[in-house]
Structure 1
Amino acid sequence: MYQQATQAYQQSANTSASADPRALEAEALMKAAARLSVLQREWDTVSREERNETLIFNRTLWTIFVTEATASHSELPLELQNNIANLALFMFNRTMEMMGGAEPEALETMISINKSLAAGLRGQKANI
């Protein structure tokens, strides 16, 4: 699953090579937020496998973000690196809660974080 998400992210980057990397990251976050929103709405009608696939997609995206943000070559300020790491940790923990049977309303915070971060990457005010 990690490999699939990475390949999808890379393919998107390759097809938009001239695009701003921040715009690509924002697009990936919005895609994850959209998938989580659909999952939340259709929680009772989707299989456990489909739930987990969507949750793992989001977790994989956050794994990529936190890995890049905290890498030794990262030029991000330490405070921002720590903030991203804390958000990723929240996402990882919430993902486990959702896989363990939490109510679909618990997805709302994950969706909001993805949308807010995407808006910030686009230089927009979050509209959630």
Structure 2
Amino acid sequence: MTHAAQVYGKVAKQVATPRETEADKLLFAAQQLASVRDEWESKKFDLAPALLNNRKLWTVLMASVTRPENPLPAQLRQNVANIGIFVMKQTVEVMDDPKPEKLGSLITINRELAAGLLGRA
């Protein structure tokens, strides 16, 4: 990585809003999962780390939306928590029976939530 790219990356992190940061992490996790799905034969061994990253991300999101001091409307917080529960269940299902076609819902959820956070939904 060039020095200019490193500097840009540091500045981008400093000026990004929390919503943008969350969206970036969701998109990164979606891309990891999509890469495994799309190149299954050569990347299926990357499935466990990609699922772990996604699960950690959703654990943080769920913890955040269930805090009483979270400023989001209660219904929205409940919806995100419910989606998080689905993500966890789907993750276990994929781990129990790994198949590339089972990753689609996780990828779509991450991308759609990121789009909403970025105001693109």
- Taking structure 1 as the reference length, what is the TM-score of the superposition? 0.80
Q: Gapped runs of 5+ residues in structure 1?
A: 1-11
Structure number with higher helix proportion: 2
Structure 1 contact 22–121 (Cα < 8 Å) conserved: yes
Query: How much does 1:15 deviate?
Result: 6.4
Query: How much does 1:102 deviate?
Result: 3.9
Residue of 15, 18, 21 corresponding to 2:18: 21
Provide the residue aligned with 1:72 in structure 2: 68
Q: Gapped runs of 5+ residues in structure 2?
A: 1-8
Q: Radius of gyration: which is bigger? A: 2
Residue of 20, 25, 35 corresponding to 2:32: 35
Q: Distance in 2 between matches of 1:33 and 1:96?
A: 17
Q: Distance in 2 between matches of 1:32 and 1:97?
A: 18
Query: How much does 1:62 deviate?
Result: 0.5
Q: Distance in 1 between matches of 2:11 and 2:97?
A: 37
Query: How much does 1:63 deviate?
Result: 0.5
The C-alpha deviation readout for 1:43-96, integer Å capped at 9, x for no partner, is 233354x21111010011000111011112211111111101111011101111
Q: Distance in 1 between matches of 2:65 and 2:49?
A: 24
Provide the residue aligned with 1:95 in structure 2: 91
Identity %: 35
Runs of 4+ residues deviating >3 angstroms: 12-15
Structure 1 contact 13–24 (Cα < 8 Å) conserved: no
- Let me know the Cα RMSD of the aligned residues: 1.9
Larger RCO (alpha carbons 8 Å, 6+ apart): 2
- Taking structure 2 as the reference length, what is the TM-score of the superposition? 0.84
